[in-house]
Amino acid sequence: MTVSVPPPATPPARVDLLVVGGGTAGLVAAKTAARFGADVLLVERDRLGGDCLWSGCVPSKALIAAAHAAVGHRHGDALGASATPPTVDMARVLAHIDHAIRTIEPADSVESVEASGARVVAGHARFTSPSTASVAGATVRFRQAVIATGSSPALPDIPGLADAAPLTSDTIWGVRERPEQLVVLGGGAIGCELAQAWARLGSAVTLVHRGARLLPKEDADASQIVADALRADGVTVVLGATAARVRAERQSAGVLVLRDGSEHPFDALLVATGRTPRTAELDLDAAGVASDEGGFVRVDATLRTSNRRIRAAGDVAGLPAFTHLAGVGGSLAATNAVLGLRRRIDLEAVPRVTFTDPEVAAVGASLADAERDGLHVREVPLADTDRAIADGRTTGFARIVVDARGRVRGATIVGPRAGETLGEASLAVTQKLTTSALGSTTHAYPTYSDALWNAAIADVRARLERPGMRRAIGLLRRLRALTLR
């Protein structure tokens, strides 16, 4: 039996590395340092695994899987193989989510951390000096420390919001019944994913976003595809709208009133408008650790804070809030702390995926970057991709951004399982691979990754058409002809 709740224990008086926070960044930092032979103490006040396991990646993807299954009959109908539309049994959906969490939980358990050689204790950690902390009421002196306390959903300052018992991405998993009317405030990745999922599960969903388009960090045409997909699933998408107030009525029900006077009633209100760092209880001033105006810990490229003994990793450091980046940061922070290295975190090629249907996956340079920096853009629509045609799923594209030397600088992929194809693009960007390298690699056929491959081939062909290359090819052709006389 695995245990995710740390045991109550007396912490040691001295450690090589103190890790505060047992989410992804903290877990990876503790295990990495312990495997290097360091004496490591991991402190967690709640459950190991952090937001990703309990309220983020795992439960949301399990919910999305159920939501996709709920509308599978729609796609089958288009292919001439429809079945009776399935019913939604929320109890079984929630059981599936819980099963996913419990199946993955052992990898983040106390036992898994202790197997690496690190120790785990329950409680709060508060810095008392640049080299000491109060842990569960005892003083611990550390040589190095890693702050990995993560972040929490932020609630905007909207009159009446608190009275309506708003849900967040942390608390929505406590919902036991499907809301009849759900209003989602925020059109980023979390808002879009959950709005579509609950609409597919049968809720009447309204998504309100203050920006001119959804997913503002993505290319505009990718955002438009997602907006169209949400509307096709019945989501009412309201853009360029600002909440004026919330009028609570009964329990969690009420009305969201926008500045233009329009009203949107709800049985549940989900707020997905940003996150705030968990630093309030750390007493960063006592440790000599500086933070920015938002409360995020300031770090340099090696993840070191203003205190040379202390590093920070994950959301709390104000880095892009992705689990995979938190893991990379935790490993890097621990390695630098224990081995005295100065490895730098690479923020130029951080992959990201919005798990809507279709998915939006991106890494590195965007279309706007290409236009600004004079880079080449090669794009293949899924309508020209054989697997997408066979599946009847032709909405989307694969786009790569290429520099003058033919190196892949970025990619945006929209379509089914776009996140799975993104791995190859991420490798190409980080390793500075050329489109020739991608194009000359044999790919399995037919797959959705054909679109990315064909985009690379399109770039190779374009470079072969350049005057200098055309002359070189002509010379080689003539020399070859001479040898065959």
Each residue's pLDDT expressed in tens, for the chain with a length of 485 residues: 567 888 778 899 999 999 999 999 999 999 999 999 999 999 999 999 999 999 999 999 999 999 998 888 777 777 777 666 778 899 999 999 999 999 999 999 999 999 999 999 999 999 999 999 999 999 999 999 999 999 999 999 999 999 999 999 999 999 989 999 999 999 999 999 999 999 999 999 999 999 999 999 999 999 999 999 999 999 999 999 999 999 999 888 999 999 999 999 999 999 999 999 999 999 999 999 999 999 999 999 999 999 999 999 999 999 999 999 999 999 999 999 999 999 999 999 999 999 999 999 999 999 999 999 999 999 999 999 999 999 999 999 999 999 999 999 999 999 999 999 999 999 999 999 999 999 999 999 999 999 999 999 999 999 888 888 788 888 888 888 888 87
Residue 63, domain member (yes or no): no
Co-location of 269 and 287 in the same domain: no
Co-location of 364 and 429 in the same domain: yes
Residue 370, domain member (yes or no): yes
Residue 431, domain member (yes or no): yes
The CA distances from residue 381 to 376, 409, 417, 464, in Å, are 17, 19, 15, 22
Co-location of 168 and 114 in the same domain: no
Q: Judge if pTM exceeds 0.85.
A: yes
Domain of residue 181, residue span? 162-273
Domain with residue 240: its CATH number is 3.50.50.60
Residue 481, domain member (yes or no): no
Residue 4, domain member (yes or no): no
Q: Is the dihedral of CA 177, 180, 181, 186 positive or negative?
A: positive
Looking at the structure of the chain, the number of domains it has is 3
Q: Whole-angstrom Cα distance, residue 182 to residue 131?
A: 48
Report, in angstroms and rounded to the nearest whole number, the Rg of the chain calculated over CA atoms.
25
Co-location of 375 and 438 in the same domain: yes
Co-location of 283 and 142 in the same domain: yes
Number of H helices, E strands in the chain: 16, 21
Co-location of 269 and 288 in the same domain: no
* Residue-wise DSSP of 379-432: EEEGGG-HHHHHHT----EEEEEE-TTSBEEEEEEEETTHHHHHHHHHHHHHTT
Token output for 60: 């949301």
